[in-house]
Amino acid sequence: MYRSHVLVCGGTGCTSSNSQAIIEALEKEIAANDLTKEVQVVRTGCFGLCALGPIMIVYPEGCFYSCVKVEDIPEIVSEHLLKGRIVTRLLYDETVEGDGVKALNETDFYKKQVRVALRNCGVINPESMDEYIANDGYQALAKCLTEYTPEQVIQIVTDSGLRGRGGGGFPTGRKWALTAPNKADQKYVVCNADEGDPGAFMDRSVLEGDPHCLIEAMAIAGYAIGATKGYVYVRAEYPIAVRRLQIAIDAAREAGLLGKDIFGTGFEFDLEIRLGAGAFVCGEETALMTSIEGNRGEPRPRPPYPAVKGLYGKPTVENNVETFANIPQIILRGADWFASMGTEKSKGTKVFALGGKIKHTGLVEIPMGTTLREIIEEIGGGIPNGKKFKAAQTGGPSGGCIPADLIDTPVDYDNLIAIGCMMGSGGLIVMDEDTCMVDMAKFFLEFTVDESCGKCTPCRVGTKRLLEKLEKITEGKGTLQDIDELEQLCYYIKENSLCGLGQTAPNPVLSTLRFFRDEYIAHVVDKKCPAGVCKSLMHYEIIADKCKGCTACARKCPVGAISGAVKEPHVIDTEKCIKCGVCMETCKFGAIVKQ
Amino acid sequence: MQKKISKLPFKGTPEQAAALQKVIDANKHDSSRLMGVMHEAQNIYGYLPIEVQQVIADGMGVPLEKVYGVATFYAQFSLSPKGEYNISVCLGTACYVKGSGDLMDKLKELLGIDAEECTADGRFSLTACRCIGACGLAPVLTVNDDVYGRLTTDDIPGILAKYGK
């Protein structure tokens, strides 16, 4: 028995800010103080509060140390672990209350969160199967195999109201029910862990923090639909996730939780990891299956749906990581428990990756129906630097934005679709007044143009044309007619593209056109970028009152665009100016402004 | 997106060839493992020149055009070599919003190469990458396995200096 446990986050966020070195330093210091038998260091998955990383929690006190540096370790060990004196200066300030420590669950960031999919992340050591089992792991699988028929399992999942967390929101129970009756010599369960939306890292955190949960859920799905083989398709950009998942699969196989005759029931199921190689389109289910087969990841037309003809032409169920992560809890705690959370048509919780201009960047799991205001202002801690909230972008390149005046929208599948947005896989990027919405739409189109697989013309050529129009607008060369054509082209691409990528690619444009049309108009009519982002639409100007006529700027200007007599206010010729900004850097009097 | 194909001559060692052969032997019974083999081959050689693609095609029993097709389809397969230090700038949404585009421009200027290129001395190569998931540290770049976060363009010369530029 250890008297103290030190949990250090080993997720990608904290590993990037050097948590590995912190673990090593901890172990060294602990050994030096002869505490190895009393204190255990556990490398866990993601805690969620990535902005404050590297993060560590010391139990039993529950002290939450944030932004820990290697230099801080000797102090933490000698003061806290040896003498029992909490190192107050390193505590996350919201957990300090008077002289005591406030529980993490009572801080604004965690208070409203309900952790189902993430319940083990940041709690257990993901590389230890024993810790997972100690936390009710593999009980759900045992229950399914010994107490329920496959039909009953499907019924429970259907009754829970769980919908696909990858973006589409298709009811998971129905997907399983459509696949189960199809007869074939082989069926497959596929897990989509090809999390490609920029700014989204929910699935990665589950893989890194709780890999056994995914294995258990996939085995349950296998039992429900009658499949004996599963594939997890993971992005190769997630090396930590891949490694931990492989460790977990090997351990489960060793323990007889994968393989033949699981729990002595005769049920057989095994898993294999397949690595992606950086193609966004592979997040689309048919493209993903083509890629698992070792081909270029191009989508194929549906129908036939994967439930009938999926991987290798066999009936296949495909769900994403977060969807699977809910399954064991639904089995253990019942469909009614799960359905008691959320809204009428969106049950349970959803994990969001908060990013962009927000104080607490990181991962949060909240009940469906939580308003955007609660997410951003309470959980996320608001916008830094006193800036004003402008919009939130959900659903990545397939989604849209939610403007400030709809901030009280309860976030669930149907509400978001009603305002032309989508849940997406859970990336939530917050934008403040300094973000240009046209530039944002352009950014996403650059992404989709890059990632369009090229198989169908509306997407391959259409997205390119969309991007060209957006470039024209951000360069100040657009006309009102361009905006109309842009909109028409969007609808054309949506209606005619083969797969989800093309059908949703115009969404960022349509959504910004809907809520921020005035910004588009400002770009084409006034030739101004209201947020001051689009370079071509800005110009440098000298404030005559502040200019002392020192000539420094004129001498530095590489194109000779600045003129004026000594000791007289200077002027910039905007025709000649190349907007390099050297003059502004040179001016000692702050007389040059960018507008 | 068109991939840059290197004009530098292929320099493979017998050790590399032996390592690749081992990978092929372990996987050739299942041709759907092609991508896994290509990942391993890229780990061995650093990139996938046509010579290596040919070996993979022969070993896995698939046509060369299929290997080439897969290599050109996926962003992570590189047809040109990486420098000793590969600098990868995250252009994911969160980093982009926080100014990673400016970091990229500064690097191009200082190294005198474009994205997806390698300097003539083989020391530095520059790539744009998608989100690496360290959004809390945005904007982020990596040099090989070292991660640098919360950067401004003023930090760039210092980082390059660390690697002998």
Query: Quick check: is A119 in a domain?
Result: no
CA A340, CA A338: separation in Å to the nearest integer?
Answer: 5
- Residues on chain B touching A296 (C-beta within 8 angstroms): 69-70, 73
Give residue limits of the domains in chain B: 14-73, 85-162
Q: Do the Cβ atoms of B131 and A393 come within 8 Å?
A: no
- Residues on chain A touching B34 (C-beta within 8 angstroms): 294
Q: Do the Cβ atoms of A429 and B73 come within 8 Å?
A: no
Q: Do the Cβ atoms of B35 and A294 come within 8 Å?
A: yes
* Whether the Cβ atoms of residue A366 and residue A379 lie closer than 8 Å to each other: yes
CA A35, CA A38: separation in Å to the nearest integer?
Answer: 5
pLDDT in tens, B80-135: 888 889 999 998 777 787 788 999 999 999 998 888 888 888 889 998 887 776 76
Closest residue in chain A to residue B131, using alpha carbons only: A198
Residue A14 lies in domain: 4-109
- Interface test mutation site (partner B, options A194, A195, A201, max chain B beta carbons within 10 A): A201
Instruction: Give A409's Cβ-side CA count (13 Å radius).
Output: 22
* Whether the Cβ atoms of residue A316 and residue A191 lie closer than 8 Å to each other: no
User: Is the same domain home to A571 and A515?
Assistant: no
How many angstroms separate the CA of residue B119 from the nearest CA in chain A? 24
User: Is the same domain home to A353 and A323?
Assistant: no
User: Is the same domain home to A486 and A560?
Assistant: no
Closest partner residue to A279 (CB to CB) among B75, B97, B149 is: B75
User: Is the same domain home to A331 and A305?
Assistant: yes
How many angstroms separate the CA of residue A459 from the nearest CA in chain B? 14
Q: What is the domain-level CATH number for residue A399?
A: 3.10.20.600
Query: Quick check: is A398 in a domain?
Result: yes
User: Is the same domain home to A271 and A137?
Assistant: yes
Six token digits for residue B103: 């970091």
Indicate if the alpha-carbon torsion angle A327, A330, A335, A339 is positive or negative: negative
The yes-or-no verdict on residue A577 having pLDDT over 60 is: yes
Closest partner residue to A236 (CB to CB) among B33, B76, B97 is: B76
- Interface test mutation site (partner B, options A235, A242, A296, A460, max chain B beta carbons within 10 A): A296
Closest partner residue to B69 (CB to CB) among A274, A296, A443 is: A296
ipTM over 0.85: no
User: Is the same domain home to A481 and A559?
Assistant: no
What value does the mean pLDDT of chain A take? 92
User: Is the same domain home to A182 and A278?
Assistant: yes
Query: At A10, which amino acid appears?
Result: G
- Residues on chain B touching A50 (C-beta within 8 angstroms): 134-137
Q: What is the domain-level CATH number for residue A494?
A: 1.20.1440.230
Number of domains in chain A: 5
pLDDT in tens, A40-52: 999 998 888 888 8
Select the more confidently predicted residue: A541 or B93: A541
Query: Quick check: is A419 in a domain?
Result: yes
CA distances from A315 to A184, A191, A273, A281, A311 (A): 7, 14, 19, 21, 7
pTM of the model: 0.86
How many angstroms separate the CA of residue B21 from the nearest CA in chain A? 19
User: Is the same domain home to A464 and A512?
Assistant: yes
CA A573, CA A562: separation in Å to the nearest integer?
Answer: 6
Query: CA A285, A286, A290: angle at the middle one, nearest 5?
Result: 120
The arithmetic mean of pLDDT across residues A204-208, rounded, is: 93
* Whether the Cβ atoms of residue A155 and residue A181 lie closer than 8 Å to each other: no
Neighbours of A435 (CB within 10 A): 20
pLDDT in tens, A549-564: 999 888 877 778 899 9
Instruction: Tell whether B23 is within 8 A of chain A (Cβ).
Output: no
Closest partner residue to B97 (CB to CB) among A298, A396, A435 is: A435
Query: Quick check: is A120 in a domain?
Result: no
User: Is the same domain home to A373 and A452?
Assistant: no
How many angstroms separate the CA of residue A64 from the nearest CA in chain B? 18
pLDDT attached to residue B1: 53
pLDDT in tens, A81-112: 999 999 999 999 888 887 778 888 888 899 99
* Whether the Cβ atoms of residue A199 and residue A356 lie closer than 8 Å to each other: yes
* Whether the Cβ atoms of residue B111 and residue B151 lie closer than 8 Å to each other: no
The arithmetic mean of pLDDT across residues B58-81, rounded, is: 92
CA B28 to chain centroid, in Å, comes to: 25
Pairing of β A63-65 and β A56-59: antiparallel
Q: What is the domain-level CATH number for residue A547?
A: 3.30.70.20
Domain end point (choices A432, A461, A479): A432
Query: Quick check: is A123 in a domain?
Result: no
CA A204, CA A582: separation in Å to the nearest integer?
Answer: 43
Cβ-Cβ contacts under 8 Å for A579 (sequence gap 6 or more): A535, A538, A539, A540
User: Is the same domain home to A135 and A259?
Assistant: yes
The arithmetic mean of pLDDT across residues A362-381, rounded, is: 94
pLDDT attached to residue A575: 81
* Whether the Cβ atoms of residue A374 and residue A350 lie closer than 8 Å to each other: no
How many angstroms separate the CA of residue A387 from the nearest CA in chain B? 14
Topology of the domain covering B85-162: Glutaredoxin (3.40.30)
Closest residue in chain A to residue B69, using alpha carbons only: A296
pLDDT attached to residue A415: 93
In chain B the beta strands, taken as DSSP E runs, fall at: 85-90, 117-118, 124-129, 141-143, 146-148
pLDDT attached to residue A101: 84
In A201-300 the beta strands, taken as DSSP E runs, fall at: 229-234, 259-262, 267-275
Query: Quick check: is A115 in a domain?
Result: no
The yes-or-no verdict on residue A310 having pLDDT over 70 is: yes
